[in-house]
Amino acid sequence: MSGDFAEILSYGFAQRALLSGALLAVLCSLTGVFLVLRRLSLLGEGLAHTSFTGIAVGLLAGINPVYSAFGFAVLGSVFVLKIARGGRVHGDAATGIVLAVGMSLGVIITRLAGGFNVDLMNYLFGSVLTVTSGEIKFAAVAGVAIALLIALFFRELECICFDQEYARVCGVNVRAADAVLALATACVVVLTIRLAGILLVSALLIIPPSTAMQFSKGFKGTVLLSCLFSLAGALGGILLSFALDLPAGPVVVLLNALLFSAAFAYRKFLSSADSPSA
């Protein structure tokens, strides 16, 4: 078994898959903590479905689908913020509207273009084994930019996660912080589609932070734990997919879900142990 793994890891496609998985795992966990605490967990799902339209447009026009997907994801984030700020519509409802419209447009464009093809299916369900060195370099540069953006606005993002009114009193520009979070999410979603696919990308944004939150470690501790759980899920899931000859994206998501289940059960066990007996 160890010999088989060693042989697999000697191939370039396996090395690229693990490298891209580790990079995207960190980016997803960094962004996901803010989304979960901000109660915008579905934003990733909405932007992923909006980017589906961009991918369909890119494949139809013969341009790199990543670029068109990013444009549509940013456009979707703008619409979510505009609708939510317009009053009477909360963020989750605004996300649902954008999600439905984005997916519907994507299906219509795909139909007009002659139906689904292999490339589009790879974006729907992920295909980390086909990631190229150029895509990894692009993801690395974009990842550094996203990490710097989050670091630059870390205090503002932390404040709006817990109390927006208090953040305003402290001089935080809530609208600007929301825009930064939406932009970072759009970038991460588009980059992660190659690993998990449009249909599963939101799980990588939500599950690792939710797992980390089962442990009381403060905000920065939660961010760190989220990164660690996300790395374990991504790398372990990709290796398991090699061993079991299964698609990497779903295996990564299921392993993350297993880690969450274990953390949740552990938290419940501690709570029951600390509670006084009847």
Closest CA to 205 of 132, 271, 146, 151: 146
The DSSP element (H or E) to which 116 belongs, if any, is none
Report pLDDT for 159.
87
**For the chain, which residues make up each domain, given as ranges?**
2-267
| Residues 218, 254: Cα–Cα separation, whole Å | 26
| Residues 263, 260: Cα–Cα separation, whole Å | 5
Buried b (16+ CB within 10 A) or exposed e, 190-217: bbbbbbbbbbbbbbbbbbbbbbbbbeee
Q: Sort 128 into a burial class: Cβ within 10 Å, 0-12 / 13-18 / 19+.
A: buried
Residues 6+ away with beta carbon under 8 Å from 3: none
Looking at 3.40.50.10440, 1.10.3470.10, 1.10.287.370, 3.40.47.10, the CATH number of the domain 2-267 comes to 1.10.3470.10
User: Cβ(128)–Cβ(20) under 8 Å?
Assistant: yes
Whole-prediction pTM: 0.86
Report pLDDT for 210.
94
Q: What does the CA dihedral 231, 34, 181, 164 come to, rounded to 10 degrees?
A: -170
- Mean pLDDT per 10-residue run, the chain (278 residues)? 66 86 91 88 87 86 84 88 74 83 86 67 78 85 90 88 79 85 90 79 91 86 93 92 87 94 89 64
| Residues 20, 126: Cα–Cα separation, whole Å | 12
